[in-house]
Amino acid sequence: MAGVSFVASSRGTFNAVGKSVTLALPALVTRGDVLVALLAHNAADAPGATPVGWTRADGLGEGADVLDIYVRMVDDNEPGAVAFSFATITSECQGALVAFRGSSPGAIREASASTAFAATATPPTASVTTQQAINLVLSIWTCSGAPALALPAGFTALDGFTTAIVAPRSMLIGIRIAGVTGPAVFPPAVAGTATTGRSFSIAVRARPPVLPAALVDIVPGNIGLIAKDTRRAR
Amino acid sequence: MSGIVLLRFGESGKLQPSDALGNLDDMGTEPGITAPARVSAWTGFGRRFLQASTNGLVAPDRSGNGTLLQRDVTIQVLLSLTLAGASGAQTLIARGLNDGTAAERYAYGLELQEQANFPGFVEVRWFWQDETGAVKTQAPGVFRSPGDGVEIMLTATRRWESTSRVVVRYYVADELIAELVSPDGSLSGGTTGRTTIGARKAAGAYGRYLNGVIDELLVTDNEVSPEEIRHTWKRLTEYQPGGVETFAALTPPGSVWAQNLGNDIGKRVKIVGELLGLAVASAEELRALLLPDAAPLELVERWENICELSASPGDSLDVRRTRILSYLARDEGFQLAPLQIALAGPMALDPDRVQILEFTNTITDDFSTGIAAERWFDGGGAIWSTSRGQLQALAPAGADLRVESGATPFLLVSAEPGRLYVSARLGPGSLSTLPTDAFYGLVLHSRATNDWAWFGIVNSGGVPAVAYRTARAGSPGPFVTLDLPVTDGPSWIRIATPQRAVSIDDGRFTLSYSTTGPTTGFVDVRGPSRLGSDWSWAGLAITSLLSPVPSPIAVTFGDFVLHSGDSLRSYLWYAFREMKLAGRPDLVGADRLVKKIKPAYTYAAAISSKSVLCDDARDGLCDLGPMGAL
């Protein structure tokens, strides 16, 4: 398998009193898988300390729509859940944990991008630049309210939900094979009612493109390719 | 596999390159392309294609359509690129000239291009034309350029599976860099198409010139496996150099003539050493590719013959290998864990997700998880539902539930002729709402003779009573009430034939009734001397002598037990693959494996539905019949 593959995902549990989002380890995850934690929150709610063993890979968006991305590799003693804390809670926080196989925490995030949208029933999908067609594109839409959200064609749904512990907010997560190289442009999502928020796209990869081994010989004259005819004798 | 085109480019500079396999005519030029120069390369000589010089080669087929490949194909090439000064897409090979005619459509082609957003990285991608003539350029594999003039081995494979699914793979050296699935399965290709190297022609004009050196280029008519590519790479970089080193090491100690492979003697040393390495590689190839986990196509066919397995036309090499491995990995005897392991491959599941369904000749259902649609046959006319672990039957006021009207308000499960034992719980709380002349209880049915037998509780003129009723060929008799006390608490009823090991199905039944419990307190009641035989269905029913029903019928059932003493269910088992789970199962292979594994006295199959699904009229439209997979 040349590329990275999706394994499983789980939805976070927001605790406004405890000022944290807890992410349970999804089923089917095994040692060596890479966990990508997605934490959506308001910029006013500053994240607390990064949990031990996790690395903050990215911080996207602004204002009411910030997405923090943390990564970690599953080990033998992986806890069943991890809690991401916040210094303050003024708005709804949401999260998800996505597990991938065939990559490493240092390589998995190739690029990311975000796009804001306002009062639209067709929230755009953030365009992200991807170097390899085998990369996966993980796209997230976060928005205010509780509109019914549907993924663009070509995406596979990982999760979609609304929580309203502080104030209603919705989150939609989908994934697809990039299938292209360079700036990847995808159709918009669909919202049941006009909504305001931001979409994020992350190019997820197994590794950077390989450097092929070379055929080196200072003296030319090697036996090269051989064509075999293995058809059955008549 | 069979080679189709092999361009070694070893000819003198004064000669046109030719196909070593004879499928292409000698390569030449025409307006728009000029001949590439012969240059030194890893195997000896290659051809340098320069964009600035519009180098390219073209040749028609020598054999009749010998290079026309519209399904599986592999292109393997030894080449070096010169990215400096190059621009745009660079063609390695194109089969077809794309002049607008159907005869010259691209059947296959391979091109390279430096990434615009990532300098120093190269994309390799297939292209072909579909039946409408549209050029379908595939998503690429990407690798980092090793530098201008550095020779590498590049392989691209195409596996056609259907008109909407093509699998393409790209390798550099022996490393898979990308595997992608394309929906562009409508493959075209010209019957008189010509093949170009180093450039591509479209609408009468050449373009997309290559900027690099092609040392050798091979086209085969199959999808070369990763293991074959790995072996080729090891042959080029390990076995053959190893042969040269071995032979050179045999020279007398202190001699230097064999150390310089560039002098005349050294060249001979190298030739012999390469041949020595080639022989070693052949032996290693046998070792590496003989067993079915890595066997190439032609050996997989032999393994299939040995194992008496057959392949379907669209089966990929991976599917066929897995099928053989699963067959060889099976354990003798009927053990669940080895069965699951053996079927995990063709079912594309973890072993613990392979469901092995086994049966006894007793069916029990307490309805705690609802009404299993695969098991129960709803005759209509009543609404059957479950609530708090009880089965409820509801018929609204005004309904016609009479047998004489053809109404069949029942819920049946298939039984088997022979010894029979069927029981169920009635109520509680049903009598208080049971309208006059309404009935609820057990029912037996023969669909062949249209015979019926009911046994349960009937509200006979306002007096609830235990009663039975029979119908011959659809003509029902009256309810026969029995002198037993009836309460509105739970009651249990059963119908049973003699359960001796040897029994004659002569229609003798014993009807029993209990107000104590499902297995205690039963009182045998006076029933008919003959109730009937060959009952193929048993279950629960409501009915009424009145039409319309004056008030709603709302009754409850539970604790259903059906025991068919002569049933063959014990000899059935199924390997069930839940199709909602991810993966691309090979159910044909799984079924063949099951048929191979199963003990002779059992019937078994790999299934993806727990119900019989035969929508085709040829199969009798028998969707309604449960297959006993519960």
- B468-496 pLDDT per residue, tens: 999 988 889 999 988 777 888 889 999 99
Contacts of B178 in chain A (CB under 8 A): 2-3, 132-134
User: In this complex, do B144 and A213 lie within 8 Å of one another by their Cβ atoms?
Assistant: no
User: In this complex, do B142 and A224 lie within 8 Å of one another by their Cβ atoms?
Assistant: no
- The stretches in chain B having pLDDT less than 70 are 1, 331-333, 611-630
In a domain, A211, yes or no: no
Contacts of B276 in chain A (CB under 8 A): none
Measured between CA atoms, how close is B387 to chain A, in angstroms? 29
User: In this complex, do A209 and B143 lie within 8 Å of one another by their Cβ atoms?
Assistant: yes
User: In this complex, do A225 and B178 lie within 8 Å of one another by their Cβ atoms?
Assistant: no
Nearest to A36 by CA among A104, A97, A81: A97
Q: Which fold has domain B3-224?
A: Jelly Rolls (2.60.120)
Q: According to the model, what pLDDT value does residue B612 have?
A: 61
Q: According to the model, what pLDDT value does residue B442 have?
A: 95
Q: According to the model, what pLDDT value does residue B72 have?
A: 92
Q: According to the model, what pLDDT value does residue B625 have?
A: 37
**φ, ψ for residue B190, nearest 5 deg:** -85, 145
- The stretches in chain A having pLDDT less than 50 are none
The reply to whether B363-567 shares the fold of B3-224 is yes
Which residue among A179, A221, A229 sits closest to B3, beta carbon to beta carbon? Answer: A229
| Percent of chain A whose predicted confidence (pLDDT) is above 70 | 97
Nearest to B403 by CA among B527, B550, B541, B529: B541
Q: According to the model, what pLDDT value does residue A229 have?
A: 67
User: In this complex, do A214 and B146 lie within 8 Å of one another by their Cβ atoms?
Assistant: yes
Would you list the domain boundaries of chain B?
3-224, 230-289, 297-359+570-619, 363-567
CA–CA separation, A231 and B216 (whole Å): 23
Q: Whole domain around residue A142: which residue ranges?
A: 5-204
Which residue among B40, B180, B296 sits closest to A133, beta carbon to beta carbon? Answer: B180
Which residue among B45, B142, B266 sits closest to A131, beta carbon to beta carbon? Answer: B142
CA–CA separation, B154 and B382 (whole Å): 68
Residue B601 is which amino acid?
Y
Q: According to the model, what pLDDT value does residue B266 have?
A: 84
pLDDT per residue as tens digits for the range B49-96: 999 999 999 999 987 778 999 999 999 999 999 999 999 999 999 999
Residues 6+ apart with CB under 8 A from A172: A140, A141, A142, A149, A150, A151, A157, A159, A160, A189
pLDDT per residue as tens digits for the range B608-628: 887 665 444 554 544 433 444
CA–CA separation, B116 and A152 (whole Å): 27
Which residue among B3, B142, B215 sits closest to A209, beta carbon to beta carbon? Answer: B142
User: In this complex, do A217 and B278 lie within 8 Å of one another by their Cβ atoms?
Assistant: no
Q: According to the model, what pLDDT value does residue B40 have?
A: 94
Q: Specify the CATH class of B363-567 in words.
A: mainly beta
Q: Which residue of B has its CA nearest to A224?
A: B43
In a domain, A193, yes or no: yes
CA–CA separation, B26 and B579 (whole Å): 53
Which residue among B121, B178, B274 sits closest to A223, beta carbon to beta carbon? Answer: B274
pLDDT per residue as tens digits for the range B345-403: 899 998 888 999 888 889 899 998 888 877 888 888 899 999 877 899 999 999 999 98
Q: According to the model, what pLDDT value does residue B630 have?
A: 45
Helix, strand, coil share of chain B (percent; to 5): 20, 35, 45
Q: Which residue of B has its CA nearest to A179?
A: B139
Name the domain count of chain A.
1
Q: According to the model, what pLDDT value does residue B331 have?
A: 65
In a domain, A76, yes or no: yes
- For chain A, the straight-line distance linking the first and the last C-alpha, in angstroms and rounded, comes to 38
In a domain, A217, yes or no: no
Mean residue pLDDT across chain B? 88
Interface-testing mutation among B24, B111, B118, with chain A (most A C-beta atoms within 10 A): B118
